């Protein structure tokens, strides 16, 4: 008889929580019921969970800050593993900094600036955690994770821990060399010494720019669409007259067209219908088919 998620979790020293919805673990706040939620607090525990669950025929899903995920209405029968408990670091080794996958990116940026290390300022305000941002090669304001990531540790499909140096050219726009099923647990960043006072100024500039152009205090999944080559998804949505377009409780942000915000009562269906509608109208009016940057979970 196949072991249950609860039995495996207990054997690994983790509580299998029930009664949750995916909406609790995504920044946009949508998503249906999930059967079990697991919160490992170390790389070792994460590895055991992944290996044992997969061996027993379960298909765990892994989520960090939930900033780039739009789950469906569910119910989700696969166990959900949260990586936020794996938050060792940041640990400084000269100009390199090592951080667990659960470290909040905003905290990492802050610690690096305090230390007088430059290179991550572009990530100020990016929601989410180290694991997810490296996996997606997240970026903004001319920078991206591949500019500074130099080493990654991850669990492969069999639950074996892998670690190696990684080069910028292995990444591409909003893509990393890691495929679904690989779980990043740690990253090492190569930064550049800088003057803390000047870094503070740069950080303030990025923060002010972000606050001016993005919807403050509203639940969203970050940028919904990838920028087409040589253009901006936000610009295309804007010139297509789609700011403010709404489906149910979801609407295109008035501050930034590439954001869909939850006005308080949005459902997964609302958000997904709005995504499809925006794609359709941009194609009709601007002749460009947008591609999702967010991950849609069913």
CA 7/CA 45 separation, integer angstroms: 14
Active site residue 112: no
CB atoms under 10 Å from CB of 283, counted, come to 14
Longest CA–CA span in the chain (Å) reads: 62
DSSP state of 22: G
Active site residue 12: no
CA 17/CA 36 separation, integer angstroms: 5
Mapping DSSP to helix (H, G, I), strand (E, B) and coil, where does residue 82 land? strand
Best CA proximity match to 286, nearest among 222, 241, 254: 241
Mapping DSSP to helix (H, G, I), strand (E, B) and coil, where does residue 184 land? strand
Active-site annotation holder among 121, 186, 223, 272: 223
Active site residue 24: no
Active-site annotation holder among 110, 174, 210, 273: 174
List, in order, residues 6 or more apart from 2 with CB less than 8 Å away: 56, 57
Question: Token match 């998620």: residue?
Answer: 5
- Active-site residues: which are they? 174, 223, 293
């Amino acid at each position: 008889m196949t072991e249950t998620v609860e039995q495996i979790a207990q054997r690994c020293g983790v509580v299998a929580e029930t009664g949750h919805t995916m909406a609790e673990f995504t920044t946009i706040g949508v998503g249906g019921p999930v059967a079990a939620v697991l919160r490992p607090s170390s790389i070792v525990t994460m590895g055991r969970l992944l290996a044992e669950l997969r061996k027993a025929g379960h298909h765990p899903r892994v989520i960090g800050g939930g900033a780039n995920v739009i789950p469906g209405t569910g119910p989700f029968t696969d166990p959900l593993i949260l990586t936020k408990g794996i938050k060792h670091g940041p640990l400084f080794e000269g100009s390199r900094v090592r951080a667990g996958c659960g470290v909040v990116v905003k905290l990492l940026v802050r610690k690096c600036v305090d230390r007088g290390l430059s290179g991550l300022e572009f990530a100020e305000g990016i929601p989410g955690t180290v694991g997810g941002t490296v996996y997606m090669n997240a970026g903004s304001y001319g920078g991206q994770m591949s500019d500074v990531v130099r080493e990654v540790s991850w669990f492969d499909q069999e639950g074996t821990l892998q670690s190696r140096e990684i080069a910028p050219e292995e990444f591409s726009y909003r893509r990393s060399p890691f495929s679904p099923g690989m779980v990043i647990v740690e990253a090492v960043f190569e930064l550049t010494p800088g003057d803390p006072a000047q870094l503070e100024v740069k950080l303030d500039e990025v923060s002010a720019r972000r606050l001016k152009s993005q919807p403050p205090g509203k639940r969203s999944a970050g940028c919904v669409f990838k920028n087409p080559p040589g253009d901006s998804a936000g610009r295309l949505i804007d010139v297509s007259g789609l700011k403010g377009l709404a489906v149910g409780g979801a609407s295109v942000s008035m501050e930034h067209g590439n954001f869909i915000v939850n006005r308080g009562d949005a459902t997964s269906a609302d958000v997904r219908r709005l995504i499809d509608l925006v794609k359709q109208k941009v194609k009709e009016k601007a002749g460009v088919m947008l591609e999702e940057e967010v991950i849609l979970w069913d």
